Amino acid sequence: MSLSAPAACTIVANNYIAFARVLANSFLEHHPQGRFFTLVVDEPNPMLDYDAEPFETLFAKDLGFDSWPSLAFRYSILELSTAVKPRLLANLLNREQFDQLCYFDPDILILSPLDQLYRRLEACNILLTPHILQPLDDELLPSEQTFLQSGAYNLGFIGISRSRETERFLDWWDHRLRRFCVHEVHNGLFVDQKWADLVPSLFSEVCITRDPCYNVAYWNLQERQVDLSDAVPSINGSPVAFFHFSGLQINDLDRISKYQDRFRLSDVPQLTPLFEDYRGRLLRAGHEKTQKLSYAYDVFDDGSPVPDILRRWFRDPARIQEDDTPQWTDPFALGPESFWEWSLDLDDRLLPRLVSWYWSQNVGLQAAITDPFDTERERMLRWFTDVSASQLGFAGASHERLLAKLAEYLADLAPPSQPSATQSPTRETENPQMTAEVPLPDEDARPLVSLPAMQLHQNRPDLQESFPDPLGVDRQRFAYWIALEGDRGNSLPKDEVRRVRKTLPLRARLSSVLRRRGRGLLGSS
């Protein structure tokens, strides 16, 4: 492709479509023959006419991911919008056969032709821009430590050329971002950007431009004096190529960016016309209307919000690596057999899986509730109930289901009545006189009373006396006796006893385990 018709792209959700309009228009203003693409990381919104936009529209769900709903559920809007970047770049390179392609964040404004940038790409596979070109010696934000945490290069821009090495880079980047495009600075990860620190050492012909006219933003204003005295903003007499309005608050321009405290716009008044012009472009592009559009992947299929802790647990490597963890084609779906219902079921430690996982991730909570799986189980359940809305973000029907399950588990903590048969002889008593047919148990009822247990009941007068209605009013008491005594000389296999125990109410289950331990039966529990 010739330099007169370059290609560029960006990524947005529907609520950021006005930013994409401004960016695309500014790009096409300087490159009328160029092509600009916008990837929408959202579902199509009937309020938008994508065919009428100043860009060519693609949807992220159409890029060929193995399980798009799982990827969309795993990440926040920021994480998802950056996770799909290499797939978009690869798709456009392969489909359109572009020789060069540039990605720009949607909050960028192109201020002059980019011919030199694309010409630079003729000699590079990958082109990156550093956050800073000079040391930072003050104690303001962002600092050098900020960039050590978030990445040396700003991935609001990346340029690529079509080559085998670029394909190898995009494939590597795509594989990493499908699992590790997370905003977890404490774990050394910051969405797609931190991975770029490895790019110059892992791939060949990676260029790092030190031209101060590229990617001017709040993080480098201290080293770049922008002159707006001419028609085109310039730095040291050279036109600014593009300005990055990252963190801009449209109703508080003086702050410059919500991510910094080094400047106010009043400290650099020469930039005021630029910021006011950009705000005007956004408003004319319909930002006040489009910013209110909802994000499709923020909610379950019934409209209940998906809390961030569910996304984090869904992608947790420990959960994914468990052999017995089900796989869900659509974790946004609610109802039986759904990820949400599975999250609410009890795990082996007798807490709802979600509650157990959350405790394991929260050091402060571990200090406050030290024994959630035994003596403080009730306290743990009540704490999760109390903060589920105010601190954890649950709401709507899914929250009501959570509260109902927690209330059920709390109710199960009521002490069970003690079955007298626990004091009965433990040797099986033959009763050949009994010929009545053994009644078939209801396998779906809780707690479970299995057929082997009913056959034992048929042959034991003491059990018949203690539990005259083993499938009815005495069902829970009989199941508790099975869990406590069934394999102690009473002919029931240990696996059968465990199967019954798992269906007991929580308090009864705990009681049977603790009593067995007290008698030295740890191996049987």
pLDDT at 425: 40
Characterize the bridge pairing of strands 56-59 and 126-128. Answer: unpaired
Top pLDDT among 469 and 333 is at 333
Residue range 302-322: mean pLDDT, rounded: 87
pLDDT at 507: 74
CA distance 221 to 288: 28
**What are the start-end ranges of the E strands in 4-55?**
7-12, 35-40
Exposure of 375 by Cβ count < 10 A (0-12 exposed, 13-18 middle, 19+ buried)?
exposed
Residue range 374-395: mean pLDDT, rounded: 93
Cα 364 versus chain centre, distance: 22
Q: Is the pLDDT of residue 423 over 80?
A: no
For residue 36, give every residue at least 6 positions away whose Cβ sits within 8 Å of its Cβ, in sequence order, or none: 7, 8, 9, 10, 23, 24, 27, 28, 54, 55, 56
Q: Is the pLDDT of residue 334 over 80?
A: yes
Comparing 88-92, 124-128, 285-289, 480-484, the range with the smallest average pLDDT is 480-484
CA separation, residue 519 to residues 117, 513, 515 (Å): 78, 10, 7
Phi, psi at residue 128, to the nearest 5°?
Answer: -125, 155
Phi, psi at residue 517, to the nearest 5°?
Answer: -65, -40
Say what the pTM is: 0.78
Q: Is the pLDDT of residue 490 over 70?
A: no
First to last CA, the chain: 71
Q: Is the pLDDT of residue 418 over 70?
A: no
Cα 294 versus chain centre, distance: 18
Q: Is the pLDDT of residue 480 over 50?
A: yes
State the pLDDT confidence band at 437, using cuts at 50, 70 and 90: low
The domains found in the chain, sorted by start residue, are 7-290 (3.90.550.10), 299-411 (no CATH), 427-524 (no CATH)
State the pLDDT confidence band at 38, using cuts at 50, 70 and 90: very high
Top pLDDT among 240 and 510 is at 240
Residue pLDDT, tens place only, 62-75: 999 989 999 999 99
pLDDT at 115: 96
pLDDT at 416: 59
Q: What is the mean pLDDT of the chain?
A: 89
Taking alpha carbons only, the member of 297, 347, 117 closest to residue 214 is 117
Q: Is the pLDDT of residue 455 over 90?
A: no
Residue pLDDT, tens place only, 41-64: 999 999 999 999 999 999 999 999
Concatenate the DSSP letters of all residues of 97-138 into one string.
Answer: --SEEEEE-TTEEE-S--HHHHHHHTT-SEEE-BS-SS---S
Q: Is the pLDDT of residue 1 over 50?
A: no
pLDDT at 456: 81
Comparing 113-122, 150-159, 463-472, the range with the smallest average pLDDT is 463-472
CA distance 37 to 115: 18
* H helices present in 211-296, as ranges: 272-284, 287-290
Q: Is the pLDDT of residue 363 over 90?
A: no
Residue range 450-471: mean pLDDT, rounded: 79
For residues 132 and 220, is the Cβ–Cβ distance under 8 A?
yes
pLDDT at 296: 97
Q: Is the pLDDT of residue 2 over 90?
A: no
Percent of the chain with pLDDT over 90: 70
Q: Is the pLDDT of residue 255 over 70?
A: yes
Residue pLDDT, tens place only, 158-188: 999 999 999 999 999 999 999 999 999 988 9
Exposure of 335 by Cβ count < 10 A (0-12 exposed, 13-18 middle, 19+ buried)?
exposed
| Sign for the pseudo-dihedral over CA of 46, 47, 53, 58 | negative
Taking alpha carbons only, the member of 12, 174, 196, 163 closest to residue 94 is 163
Q: Is the pLDDT of residue 426 over 50?
A: no
State the pLDDT confidence band at 322, using cuts at 50, 70 and 90: low
Phi, psi at residue 9, to the nearest 5°?
Answer: -150, 165
Query: Virtual CA dihedral for 470, 475, 477, 481, nearest 10 degrees?
Result: 70
pLDDT at 360: 92
For residue 342, give every residue at least 6 positions away whose Cβ sits within 8 Å of its Cβ, in sequence order, or none: 326, 353
CA separation, residue 321 to residues 73, 172, 179, 193, 475 (Å): 18, 22, 13, 26, 37
For residues 301 and 332, is the Cβ–Cβ distance under 8 A?
yes
For residue 175, give every residue at least 6 positions away whose Cβ sits within 8 Å of its Cβ, in sequence order, or none: none
pLDDT at 324: 57
For residues 238 and 214, is the Cβ–Cβ distance under 8 A?
no
State the pLDDT confidence band at 469, using cuts at 50, 70 and 90: confident
